[in-house]
Structure 1
Amino acid sequence: MGIRSFAAELLLPASLQPRAKTPAAAGQEPKVDPASFAALSDHLHYLGKAEVKQIREAYKFADEAHLGQFRASGEPYITHPIAVAGLVADWRLDAQAVMAALMHDAMEDCGVTKIELIQRFGAPTAELVDGLTKLDKLQFSTREESQAESFRKMLLAMARDVRVILIKLADRLHNMRTMAAMAPAKRMRIAQETLDIYAPIAHRLGLNMIYRELQERSFEFLHPWRHAALAKALQRARGHRRDIVERVRGEVEKSFGAAKLKVQVSGREKTVYSIYRKMREKHAGFAQVSDIFGFRIVVPQTMDCYLALGTLHQLYKPVPGRFKDYIAIPKANGYQSLHTTLVSPLGTAVEFQIRTEQMHAVAESGIAAHWLYKQKDKGGAGSPADAQRLGAMWLKSLLDIQDETRDASEFLEHVKIDLVPDAVYVFTPKSKILALPRGASAVDFAYAIHSDVGDHTVAAKVNGEPVALRTELKSGDVVEVITAPGARPNPSWLNFVRTGRARSKIRHFLKTMEQEESRALGEKLLAQALRGEGMVLPSGELDDMTAQALWAQLARWSGNRGRADLLVDIGLGKKIATIVAKRLAQLMTEQGRRPDAVTLTMNRFRAAEEAVPALHGVVIDGSEGASVQLAACCRPIPGDEIRGYLGRGEGLVVHTAECSVGKRLAERDPERWMAVEWAEQPVKNFETSVKLLLRNGKGALAQVAQAISSAEADISHIDMDNEPQSEAVELRLLLAVRDRQHLADVLRTLKRAPPVLRASRLKS
């Protein structure tokens, strides 16, 4: 699998390093069969005899289930579960996890049922296996939809039990190590999926060894020529710089000896993929990537980290701006170390990482360190418990996202956002530290505190200064969020929020509001349509059994889940109120109800008079929300003659009677039009478009703004021609006005302004 550096080998535990192949001597045991239980038993020394016996039973079960199945390489299929179980055992996971690793493909590939696993191995093991099983038996319209739903199932199982993802990552790691025998197209697809999903998950959970290897192997399969070329360049650089590395190591060890500090110094080298990524980010050649080599300093205690840092800075000059203290402020995945870049004697940059043994355990194994080192864990700084806690926080956030996101592809999109490795660390006014993705805004910060804070955010301060909500936060910022009880999320926030939690909460709130507003509109439309049939809309109260039965019949007829669902569809224009009303009237007649003659006569008279269907009287006052939209093509305002178009899935769209777009829609779908009217006292201002022709000169725009302000109108948007040298320039404004009379006053005021040559309302 390509050229491996001495440092990369040095950092891998024995279980992940390639085993030496030595010929069996005369009289010795023959080579262990990778398909036998003996290949796994060496990894189980930390478990008791009873647990090993259980695992042996699981091995026999898996061996029988996979009998006759072979991998693409030609090996018996059981070699794969054994290898995965071996990796899981190297993390010292419990017997249930090792058994689940052995049987992780049994349900998916062998037809084994969950009930059978519960009966033989217990519910906890069966739940782990079920969490690892893809949803191949369900029917999905696309491969992407199936894949997204399977990821969602696995991630939610992982949120309930972190062992699920540890087993899955071990499974993916072994697949990546043995993928050479697969077809090229399948290799590319799996490698890309690994790079996009599994490697970031490993990084998010602090599993850095697995993260690096998954990245490296994915890169090799996706770009074999680039990988080979960079690996050769790295090998040549290693040879050229060997003397520098040895000299630096010697001087560092001598300096620590003089300071009487007990340290372990080890060399480390960037992976081929990390070098490639840095070259792409900086648009640099291989020769310009300076910090390829580095050293790791492991010390006994946390205070020794800072003493070691001082010793190094006395030995070599630090590079300004390249020091990071991840001990005081750990990364989101629990990683802790001091990072500093120094200038070596030959002028090359060398990075040093300084950490304790416990920090090193967490840095390499992340949440797996909880099992690897739980006997030693005392819960101190940089302990495996810290990594477990931070990992659990992210896993719980998956459940929060799931609560608001029922669509699998959308859920996976939110999770991908949260897998961004770079982070900024900001402070609350009470000095609590929060880790957010790079590029996060004050809105992300608000939702990270609590969803109610995010929903009611109106303003923010950073370091005591007011800022726009879309302002990107930087590490060290002190952020304060200002809320108001009546505030609600703005759809435009979705353009700049970065965390999956914020995005899912905003979308959930907007969807909920849209559903509520559409349901209210649908009820109003259906009630009016039913009055056209001479009847009154029945209630939906729980204590009215007759009404419940009526709504249940109507929902079955319409294909909806219930009354609320049907009303939402009517409000969104997915179902026509007049058609539903006719069916409802028929059902009510079958129950013995009769049309009211007075109501019927009044509605028929009004419908004939208005030359529209019996749907009428929807009153617009500006408070309707997302269920009623004012068309952007003609921007109606109170005083305009208006009509309503019930769009398919768009709710009610209001056009002016003379709008050309509206007229074309009326010709195409006449049954979707209804009469609407303005309220006597609208509750807000309405936007309309105005076109001005200005004499180009100094202060012209200021005079226009002054004229609009004096007429008590507001400017929402300005657009103008890019012709600075012309004598006259056209200006298009979006103004907020009360009604047509107010607009007429604004236009008169504008025409009196010296630079204005013409002013008129811009119609569709």
Structure 2
Amino acid sequence: MTTADDLVSLVRAYNPRTNEKLLRDAFAFGEEMHTGQFRHSGEPYFTHPVAVTMILADQQMDDATLVTALLHDTIEDTKASFAEVERRFGREIAELVDGVTKLTNIQLTSAHSKQAENFRKLFMAMSRDLRVMLVKLADRLHNMRTIKSMRPEKQAQKARETMDIFAPLAGRMGMQWMREELEDLAFRVLNPEARNSIIRRFITLQKETGDVIEKITADMRIELEAVGIVADVYGRAKRPYSIWRKMQEKDQGFSRLSDIYGFRIITKTEADCYRVLGAVHQRWRAVPGRFKDYISQPKSNGYRSIHTTVSGRDGKRVEVQIRTREMHEVAETGVAAHWSYKNGERVENRFAVDPVRWISSLTERLDDESDHDEFLEAVKLEMYQDQVFCFTPKGDVIKLPRGATPIDFAYAIHTRIGAACVGAKVDGLRVPLWTRLKNGQSVEVITAEGQTPQATWIDIAVTGRAKTAIRRALREEDRERFIKLGAELARVAFENVGKKATEKALRTAAKTLAVESVDELLARLGSAELTAREVVRAIYPELAEKGGEEIETNRAVVGLGPDQSFRRASCCQPVPGERIIGITYRGQGVVVHAIDCEALADFEEQPERWVDLTWQDGKHSAKNTVTFDLTISNDAGVLGRICTLIGEQNANISDLNFLDRKPDFYRLMVDVDLRDVEHLHRVQTALEAENNVSSISRRRDPSLATTN
């Protein structure tokens, strides 16, 4: 256990003028009052107040705050009284201890109306002396660090309360390090599987790439030394909860998340910050749209820093924060900087903004407000700055991530309302469904009977709930078509390894892949959520890895006469795996069309020219060109990203033509060489998932058909 000597040594290191006798007396009094009391873990109870005090001492807090931390449970849990604490340690400390006691007695996770009233009490207590909340936050942090000794239901309650109230409050007070740790500790309780999954991904990534942080940090130091800038460079992997939240907000998997590493460069002067920025951008390519200058435009809590994201070593995107030492202290400790000491003197930091003003203005503005619910809503609008709170016509509050749209709002109310949405009114005015909602707006969702989710909504929605519901609805709508396509893909894939896609084989594959039925398996295969190789591998892993010989292009089609040649129709561009039909031309051989090609209507009166064809079973070469009609954002780097996505699917771009150039969007035709329909769906799915792709379709143009 930490002793009084340990505490005094830590405090004297940053405040040589500390009142050592006061600290020792408080330590002895607290230890005496808690004698015979034990925590759930079996440890003496006084280990908890000591740990809370050490957390605050690490933040270089003043003596009064440290003594309050040592005694913060004495009035509530021991025979000590307010009068006795005041007699021994003075009025200031007694009032602080009493304030922490009152905060502890507020039940923040009670019923909604009671919760609103208790939020008011919480903020009123904070407004009197913010050090009360600093002790309470440190108290909650230590409790979360030792939460495993609590009952499971108590762990869940405390974790949810921490995630909803204390972590955002720590962030709003500028104590970002505490917010991140509180969120991650709560995440460990509320969703341990997700957290462990992210940690496993990190371990795998580190095995594959080595210590990326050390390498990039070394690269940055070399660049700064080359231009004569003296600065400290630090790197770290972001916490699991921070990564998981980004995955949810962006609806992306871990592998597609760009900024899982963060780097900080701490300079001596503000001018050096901009010199560092120039050096970083000169060495690494900046990612468009990911630059923010919080030095020239500070956040409301005093936060100042330059943020930029660059493509670092091996093309990995990393976030870089650049700031001075003073700015860094405010960014790390926030409100605690107001009471911190160095060399026995209170530190004056010119960048610090006193959050007391924010709390006081909020409580004064709502002090006479009789509606507790309105107080709760107003507090949350202030506290949760990374979220948007909007209102239904009935006044209910809907919490959404920043950047959310009316589509997200509709699905947040109910999936049925989201699916039937045809429009929205924001503050009484009709707006497009892609409108980004802002804090405090009133949103009315307009619905219509018979309406179904549209494919374009995927790009409009930002919440995982909305995107999942839209995809599910679209999948159900196209289910029959996907099942038929999946069956054909499965047939070809199984025959390619010398097997048959029997009902029993598919049932076994579905069971292995944890899919509830054969129809669902085929539907997922047809919609490109599963690949044919994955289905085959589920039963015949050793056969699925054998590529086999590629089929020669001139033997790709079965059903031709001995002297007949063929070519693919330009109007429909059929690929292996699709049902096909041939049309004969004198002197030109056979032109192969997809069975659903509109151009075939021109030959209905000429049945003698029709030839029944199928694709050769096996592995086809990537020489089947398909043209995609793409509309993409007119932003720097987007076209390069599109080309990279296609290349990642092992497909080649053979031609590219711009059809229309607008200030905000480009429309272009891209010719891509593909192997088969499975390859086609993989490329199309990858492009559809890209945020900067507004629309994508496969070009089918009957006017390009040969007619003689």
TM-score for the superposition, normalised by structure 1: 0.49
Classify the secondary structure of the residue corresponding to 2:352. Answer: helix
- CA distance in 1 between counterparts of 2:94 and 2:207 reads 51
- CA distance in 2 between counterparts of 1:338 and 1:168 reads 31
Q: Residue 348 of structure 1: CA displacement?
A: 2.1
Q: 2:352 aligns with which of 387, 390, 397?
A: 387
Q: Residue 118 of structure 1: CA displacement?
A: 2.0
Counterpart position of 1:405: 369
Q: Residue 172 of structure 1: CA displacement?
A: 0.7
Indicate if the aligned counterparts of 1:88 and 1:98 stay in contact, CA closer than 8 A: yes
- CA distance in 1 between counterparts of 2:170 and 2:120 reads 16
Alignment of 1:685-764 (within 5 A): none
Q: Residue 373 of structure 1: CA displacement?
A: 5.6
Counterpart position of 2:519: none
Cα 1:154/1:41, change in 2 over 3 Å = farther
Indicate if the aligned counterparts of 2:247 and 2:253 stay in contact, CA closer than 8 A: yes
- CA distance in 2 between counterparts of 1:320 and 1:358 reads 28
Counterpart position of 1:528: none
Alignment of 1:90-105 (within 5 A): 90-105=58-73
Counterpart position of 2:250: 282
Q: Structure 1: which amino acid aligns with 2:289? A: G
Structure 1, gaps ≥5 residues long: 1-32, 425-436, 441-466, 473-492, 498-764
Residue by residue, what CA displacement relative to the aligned partner does 1:332-384 show, whole Å, maximum 9, x if unpaired? Answer: 222111111112252221211111111111111112123336679999xxx73
Counterpart position of 2:8: 41
Which has the bigger relative contact order, CA under 8 A and spacing at least 6? 2
Q: Residue 495 of structure 1: CA displacement?
A: 3.6
Residue by residue, what CA displacement relative to the aligned partner does 1:732-763 show, whole Å, maximum 9, x if unpaired? Answer: xxxxxxxxxxxxxxxxxxxxxxxxxxxxxxxx
Classify the secondary structure of the residue corresponding to 1:341. Answer: strand
Counterpart position of 1:358: 326
Q: Within the alignment, does 1:86 sit opposite 2:70 as a pair?
A: no
Indicate if the aligned counterparts of 1:69 and 1:77 stay in contact, CA closer than 8 A: yes
Q: Residue 421 of structure 1: CA displacement?
A: 2.7
Classify the secondary structure of the residue corresponding to 1:267. Answer: strand
Counterpart position of 2:534: none
Q: Residue 37 of structure 1: CA displacement?
A: 2.5
Indicate if the aligned counterparts of 1:377 and 1:385 stay in contact, CA closer than 8 A: no
Q: Within the alignment, does 1:372 sit opposite 2:336 as a pair?
A: no
- CA distance in 2 between counterparts of 1:140 and 1:392 reads 21
- CA distance in 1 between counterparts of 2:148 and 2:47 reads 16
Residue by residue, what CA displacement relative to the aligned partner does 1:681-723 show, whole Å, maximum 9, x if unpaired? Answer: xxxxxxxxxxxxxxxxxxxxxxxxxxxxxxxxxxxxxxxxxxx
Q: Within the alignment, does 1:416 sit opposite 2:360 as a pair?
A: no
Cα 1:408/1:175, change in 2 over 3 Å = farther
Q: 1:349 aligns with which of 317, 338, 356?
A: 317
Classify the secondary structure of the residue corresponding to 1:134. Answer: helix
Indicate if the aligned counterparts of 1:296 and 1:352 stay in contact, CA closer than 8 A: yes
- CA distance in 1 between counterparts of 2:430 and 2:136 reads 38
Indicate if the aligned counterparts of 1:264 and 1:299 stay in contact, CA closer than 8 A: yes
TM-score for the superposition, normalised by structure 2: 0.52
Indicate if the aligned counterparts of 1:401 and 1:411 stay in contact, CA closer than 8 A: no
Q: 2:220 aligns with which of 225, 230, 252?
A: 252
Alignment of 1:481-496 (within 5 A): 495=442
Classify the secondary structure of the residue corresponding to 1:386. Answer: coil
Counterpart position of 1:163: 131
Classify the secondary structure of the residue corresponding to 2:339. Answer: helix
Q: Structure 1: which amino acid aligns with 2:219? A: E
Cα 1:303/1:404, change in 2 over 3 Å = same
Cα 1:234/1:124, change in 2 over 3 Å = same
Cα 1:406/1:439, change in 2 over 3 Å = farther
Counterpart position of 2:238: 270
- CA distance in 2 between counterparts of 1:80 and 1:373 reads 24
Q: Structure 1: which amino acid aligns with 2:358? A: W
Q: Residue 64 of structure 1: CA displacement?
A: 2.3
Counterpart position of 1:335: 303
Indicate if the aligned counterparts of 1:156 and 1:398 stay in contact, CA closer than 8 A: no
Classify the secondary structure of the residue corresponding to 1:403. Answer: coil
Larger Rg: 1
Q: Structure 1: which amino acid aligns with 2:10? A: H
Indicate if the aligned counterparts of 1:70 and 1:76 stay in contact, CA closer than 8 A: yes
- CA distance in 1 between counterparts of 2:200 and 2:228 reads 40
Indicate if the aligned counterparts of 2:427 and 2:443 stay in contact, CA closer than 8 A: no
Alignment of 1:630-669 (within 5 A): none
- CA distance in 1 between counterparts of 2:368 and 2:153 reads 35
Q: Residue 275 of structure 1: CA displacement?
A: 0.6
Counterpart position of 1:446: none
Give the RMSD, CA atoms, in angstroms: 3.6
Indicate if the aligned counterparts of 2:217 and 2:233 stay in contact, CA closer than 8 A: yes
Cα 1:378/1:198, change in 2 over 3 Å = closer
* Identity across the alignment (%): 43
Indicate if the aligned counterparts of 2:284 and 2:312 stay in contact, CA closer than 8 A: yes
Q: Residue 413 of structure 1: CA displacement?
A: 3.9
Cα 1:292/1:50, change in 2 over 3 Å = closer
Q: Residue 315 of structure 1: CA displacement?
A: 1.0
- CA distance in 1 between counterparts of 2:51 and 2:108 reads 32
Alignment of 1:613-624 (within 5 A): none
Alignment of 1:526-675 (within 5 A): none
Q: Structure 2: which amino acid aligns with 1:51? A: N
Indicate if the aligned counterparts of 2:86 and 2:93 stay in contact, CA closer than 8 A: yes
Counterpart position of 1:126: 94
Classify the secondary structure of the residue corresponding to 1:388. Answer: coil
